[in-house]
Structure 1
């Protein structure tokens, strides 16, 4: 596997992304970013306190944020940002897969703010030990993971281990304001948890939209008895983090979307569109785009003083393109061999559609569950979903395009110079690194698979009968100040007050179960279960006109049903024979989803849309299992102390 990425030729770069460099757009973009930074005090690590009325972030007159401006950030090269690319090949990590013994896997991480150039533009980023994506965390079933996270940013943070069950360890889930308070600037938290379930997954910051800026990485957990591995021999495995990317700082985009109250381009629900994508941190995105927005429609104005005023706030269209040479992600493998590719959608908004020219892919694992093999030409993953695929190098030795194509169903407006297709190069061993595939076909030549494909678990497990059924619905709507937020039932999630986290409120309230059973924590929707041997069916009806990838913390659930329209019937007669099992699945526009899970995992577990813009706009609820057991948790004092620090500081 090559340790470097190949430079994109000028001809192919021109085909991939036509350039527009207008001085007016540059000045406008700079003005917008400066205005946003001054208005919000946007530091890279900012987790916007979601009060739904105003920002309490600090700013200074010169545009610095909490004492730090982008001019003060260290600049790191692309090579340093990406690190040793050979680390994504399992054999290079010399990792022994075994269930015979367990061990402690200990890591020291520093999260910091830098400037770097993953594509053609220099951009503010969050890095872990100087890299994005961060280090690969790898372990066997039963191993103990110990990660010391040092916060070298100007704002708080937390780190979530996506898909981990963490039974009896809910306080290690890393969900800001739910299972912990934030790690303060200059502070440290040690995450210490045991591997209880395995497969291909990832970790990411779980505060604000921090992971959009780069704070994420792969989490690869092995089981020596894994069916996907034992039933399908392969030579080696490769991890590929695939995501959309933004050249504008994520907090600035979030502020623009929320402050206007109608979406980033002035239309209801319009999320910031990405500028391109990445493959293991390598991008060909050349530009940063913001559409024009003129808030003149009276019923959409945030001000309640005089809605007849049509002057509004005008944000001009901006489009600034960088001129740094971009590169392709490179992967060199041995011909006539079969490899396992671990695909992870670590993005914020868009589905990723993965393919390799002239090569079939056979899906053998999804979200940590081994599945009956499905052979396809491309794999469609919603945000936070994962899949392992087998690829056999059975073609003529040469160079072939690896494609990360962004699904455009979530992209409401099309940015100027949007780069939908991000390319890597698969080379057969013996092919010179200077060799590129023959051409770069247009984006519309790609084929797309069905994101709702129902995989059959290879290790059959029938679903038990439900003991309780809960039904919720979600949508987006205007509120009293004419802002637009997303709601579960009548609740739009926001972080609790400084110094508070849901897990500790449950501790306080556990003696009064009636208060918890009002289905709220603070003002937020919270479903409570007190039955340790129960089975819950959660019915979710989507009243919105978009698809949403939903993730339940602490569980791999059975997907009992999903489809168009809304479901208000009895779930007890649904098919229970070996349903698909996932931890993240998609609800179609104006459709429904029914998931089933055991209620034996004590804790406060988040259930949320994994589109970052939607979660920050309120599309999150919690499920509290066994509150009396939660109250009895022996939470380390160092974690409780984070709330004491938080209560004394404004975010």
Structure 2
């Protein structure tokens, strides 16, 4: 597993002086992995046209993070851009430590020409995830990469080691510079349709994967795009789903797989076809009459010829096909997770929920400009990260419960929306989608149990069809047009956590809010103290990271 240990002396000194106090609160036997990243602009040609991209150590996409359950990740990020920058970790739960989450509600941006050392622990996690830049519209320029967390050697995995393990980052893409796209949104307009689809930063026929006949391989597929659900398939090959965002799944076989924006899946496939080349195909879903597509190449090492014939067609355009596939994704109750005990030992269906929250997305005009919201509130970022305001008790940055836990049908308005929930509560969240597009929602700091999804309006009677036994546990979930999705969450992670749409233009224009999971306990068992190297900005500038 490649590790980057080449920290500059000044960087290493910064880490030793500032980060070690934070590290002392984690177990000494858990390994440390050091990464030193320089974030720059650079020219890229993903769709054959030169454009400015965001590179990490000169790479687009950025380098993978390879780790093992409970590893401590020390990631020094130097911002060589001409504007503030932040990285966030899609699916890394940041146990008791939302200060390191890397979104503006919790973390001050890294100023141009400065560095910040993220101190993360992949505590009790396995699986496939990714990181991305969270400020503004940086995500449209790159700066993303894969994260894999392997099981500890003594924990059994429910499949044999593959011959190869590959990160596959797919996503829709614009040829316009991210600053131009951001300016378009700031002016009150909507984004146009994307220009193409990328596979690992490359457009049509740009990506190739070489395999040996008869061997089995693992693909970790993440949709890192900006708005579109995508379908992934390999010509003449079947894929066996084995893991979703940290949960081993029932090993169901698919000929193609819908990957909604923000989601990550692991599949196994066997190179069991005659030795030649085959298409890897990614197409946009639910975008008719215009459908984006791109292809890569699965190359057999003993190939007798190039790809031939038309690339394989995708699934039906009917929502029901995708809905039925989503319902078939379930937890493998006989497999261990990051601990020796089976994943199914947490009987979530036998616990009474203490609160039901209904989340409805909405769109509209505010002050003559396009905005999006949740339960009629369009989120506006404050001048100070809310987690810092909470810690330093700075008044006026946000108000608790400034968003309703039910949609009420009122006109869209602007506010810094925060919903306070009690630590150790067990809550039900229903995502109600009244629009004609697929929505995708992500909650930082948590995995949740997907208990149900269907068309129409959710009612109390909808609970009769919930899966209360083996619903998959994950961190990003889709909601189909004119439909609902319900999840259960044990609120066991204190902090300030972002709940957002993964449709990035909508997120930027207000379709998000923060969940404040609160306890009055000051025990380190419940929440870590603010890191000594925490960046301070806004009204928190000049304060001390430890009480005097």
State TM-score, norm by structure 1. Answer: 0.69
Q: Which residue does 2:499 correspond to in 1? A: 607
For 1:190 and 1:217, the matched residues in 2 are separated by 18
Q: Which residue does 1:501 correspond to in 2? A: 385
SS across alignment from 1:595: strand
Q: Do 1:493 and 1:617's aligned partners in 2 also have CA atoms closer than 8 Å?
A: yes
Deviations 1:151-206 (A, max 9, x none): 11111111111111111111111112x11111111111110111121201100111
Q: Which residue does 2:195 correspond to in 1? A: 275
Q: Kindly report which structure 2 residues correspond to 1:470-481, keeping only aligned pairs within 5 A, or say none.
A: 470-479=357-366, 481=367
For 1:589 and 1:339, the matched residues in 2 are separated by 34
For 2:279 and 2:463, the matched residues in 1 are separated by 47
For 2:250 and 2:376, the matched residues in 1 are separated by 40
Q: Do 1:184 and 1:646's aligned partners in 2 also have CA atoms closer than 8 Å?
A: no
Compute the displacement of 1:329 (Å): 1.1
Compute the displacement of 1:576 (Å): 2.1
Q: Kindly report which structure 2 residues correspond to 1:392-541, keeping only aligned pairs within 5 A, or say none.
A: 392-407=270-285, 409-410=286-287, 414=290, 420-431=292-303, 435-441=305-311, 445-447=313-315, 450=322, 453-454=326-327, 455-459=329-333, 460=344, 461-463=346-348, 464-479=351-366, 481-497=367-383, 500-509=384-393, 516-519=400-403, 523-530=415-422, 532-541=423-432
Correspondence 1:375 to 2:256: no
Compute the displacement of 1:235 (Å): 2.3
Compute the displacement of 1:450 (Å): 1.3
Compute the displacement of 1:340 (Å): 1.2
The counterpart of 1:638, out of the listed 516, 533, 538, is 533
Correspondence 1:117 to 2:45: yes
SS across alignment from 2:42: strand
Q: Which residue does 1:202 correspond to in 2? A: 130
Deviations 1:128-162 (A, max 9, x none): 11111101101001110010011111111111111
CA gap of 1:646–1:369, structure 2 versus 1, over 3 A, is same
Q: CA RMSD in A?
A: 2.9
Compute the displacement of 1:256 (Å): 2.0
The counterpart of 2:473, out of the listed 545, 566, 581, is 581
Q: Which residue does 1:334 correspond to in 2? A: 212
The counterpart of 2:144, out of the listed 216, 219, 223, is 216
Q: Kindly report which structure 2 residues correspond to 1:135-214, keeping only aligned pairs within 5 A, or say none.
A: 135-176=63-104, 178-196=105-123, 197-214=125-142
Compute the displacement of 1:105 (Å): 0.7
Deviations 1:58-104 (A, max 9, x none): xxxxxxxxxxxxxxxxxxxxxxxxxxxxxxxxxxxxxxxxxx97411
For 1:571 and 1:102, the matched residues in 2 are separated by 44
Compute the displacement of 1:510 (Å): 9.5
The counterpart of 2:449, out of the listed 558, 579, 596, is 558
For 2:309 and 2:540, the matched residues in 1 are separated by 56
Q: Which is higher, the Rg of structure 1 or of structure 2?
A: 1
CA gap of 1:519–1:277, structure 2 versus 1, over 3 A, is closer
Q: Do 1:511 and 1:628's aligned partners in 2 also have CA atoms closer than 8 Å?
A: no
For 2:163 and 2:303, the matched residues in 1 are separated by 19
CA gap of 1:511–1:226, structure 2 versus 1, over 3 A, is farther
The counterpart of 1:597, out of the listed 489, 497, 501, is 489
SS across alignment from 2:371: strand
Q: Which residue does 2:231 correspond to in 1? A: 353
Q: Do 2:434 and 2:483's aligned partners in 1 also have CA atoms closer than 8 Å?
A: yes
For 2:154 and 2:444, the matched residues in 1 are separated by 22
CA gap of 1:524–1:572, structure 2 versus 1, over 3 A, is farther
Correspondence 1:546 to 2:431: no
SS across alignment from 2:322: coil
For 1:248 and 1:629, the matched residues in 2 are separated by 48
Q: Do 1:398 and 1:431's aligned partners in 2 also have CA atoms closer than 8 Å?
A: yes
Q: Do 2:213 and 2:302's aligned partners in 1 also have CA atoms closer than 8 Å?
A: no
For 1:630 and 1:352, the matched residues in 2 are separated by 44
CA gap of 1:570–1:172, structure 2 versus 1, over 3 A, is farther
Compute the displacement of 1:525 (Å): 2.4
Q: Do 1:399 and 1:426's aligned partners in 2 also have CA atoms closer than 8 Å?
A: yes
For 1:226 and 1:189, the matched residues in 2 are separated by 34
SS across alignment from 1:516: coil
CA gap of 1:570–1:508, structure 2 versus 1, over 3 A, is farther
Compute the displacement of 1:569 (Å): 2.8
Point out where structure 2 has 5 or more consecutive residues left out of the alignment: 1-27, 334-343, 405-413, 543-548
Point out where structure 1 has 5 or more consecutive residues left out of the alignment: 1-99, 264-270, 285-326
For 1:637 and 1:122, the matched residues in 2 are separated by 41
The counterpart of 1:132, out of the listed 44, 53, 60, is 60
CA gap of 1:491–1:511, structure 2 versus 1, over 3 A, is closer
SS across alignment from 1:218: strand
For 1:618 and 1:105, the matched residues in 2 are separated by 36
Q: Do 2:278 and 2:297's aligned partners in 1 also have CA atoms closer than 8 Å?
A: yes
CA gap of 1:192–1:490, structure 2 versus 1, over 3 A, is same
State TM-score, norm by structure 2. Answer: 0.82
For 2:156 and 2:134, the matched residues in 1 are separated by 30
Q: Which residue does 1:241 correspond to in 2? A: 169
SS across alignment from 1:372: coil
Deviations 1:242-282 (A, max 9, x none): 11111111331232244244x3xxxxxxx431111111111
Compute the displacement of 1:595 (Å): 1.4
